[in-house]
Amino acid sequence: MKKNLSIWIKETSYRLGFDYCGIAKAHKLDDDARRLEQWLQKGMHGKMQYMENYFDLRVDPNLLVPGAKSVITLLMNYYPSKQQRQGAPKIARYAFGNDYHEVIREKLKEFLNDMREKVGEINGRGFVDSAPVLERAWAKESGLGWIGKNGNLLNKQMGSFFFIATLIIDAELEYDDAYVKDYCGSCTRCIDSCPTEAILPGKVVDGSKCISYYTIELKDTLLPDDMKQKFGDWMFGCDVCQEVCPWNRFSKPNNNIKFTPIPELLNFTTGQWEELTEDAFKTVFKNSPLKRTKYSGIKRNLNFIKKEGF
């Protein structure tokens, strides 16, 4: 039963458009709990107060799904087939197409429904960056890769340009070998290239210094003066640590139509971004991750990088 269901789960994951699937035994993440607690105590989450909430739920899957026995981790490639025009304000590649939360959430619902039709009542929940789940830790636990020095999960076959989703269920499965060699070696390109020195030795990322934090998560009306001349042309998010990672030479364009880049995002000039009205923003980017920072946030970020000399 366990073997057959595990095989079916992996086959179903590929049918639903996921690129990789790994399965780990559900247990409390004691080591990760200690690391997360230290990270929070040092204030590396900045003003992301939500990171302090539901600490116990983040490290114990049984508190999210009573009787949890298995954690299924799914990877979905988002590397785009096209890039932005040169010289325009830059957007992190994950945001080129439709909002991944909505795209993947529907697939997780379908996954659980199909699973219940196959084996009967299963208690489970699906998560995609929207609940207190340590996705990268579970991806590592299920043998899908190793944690790079930039804090991202790295997969030997596809690099790091992928979304991570999690299914926690109360059924026993066959579990994958958790051991994956750390192939970062002595490379420090991500540490050396981070514009704000947010990546620290020991695979620690100071979230309060990350460009993605400032341009997406931080809701302040103004960005701090001490960050001037550090953002370059990044208006929404930042891909620098992924761009310089040697393992991303294996990145290949995704084939998910929902992640097809929005034409305006690829083609807007700086002037067109400046002239963009709020109504136009809501129309063009209604299904885009750019909604997270809202129109006011995009304007704030654009003004900030312009003042930097962009």
Question: Annotated active-site positions, please?
Answer: 129
The sign of the torsion formed by the CA atoms of 96, 297, 189, 162 equals negative
Contacts of residue 262, defined as CB under 8 A and 6 or more positions apart, other chains included, come to 96, 97, 284, 285, 288
Please report which helix (H) or strand (E) contains residue 22, including its range. Answer: strand 20-25
Q: For residue 164, which of 45, 4, 24, 265 has the smallest C-alpha distance?
A: 24
DSSP string of 75-119? Answer: EEE---SS-PPTTSPEE-GGGSSS-HHHHHHHHHHHHHHHHHHHH
Q: Cα 150 from chain centroid?
A: 13
Q: For residue 130, which of 102, 170, 96, 110 has the smallest C-alpha distance?
A: 102
Assign 59 to helix, strand or coil.
Answer: helix
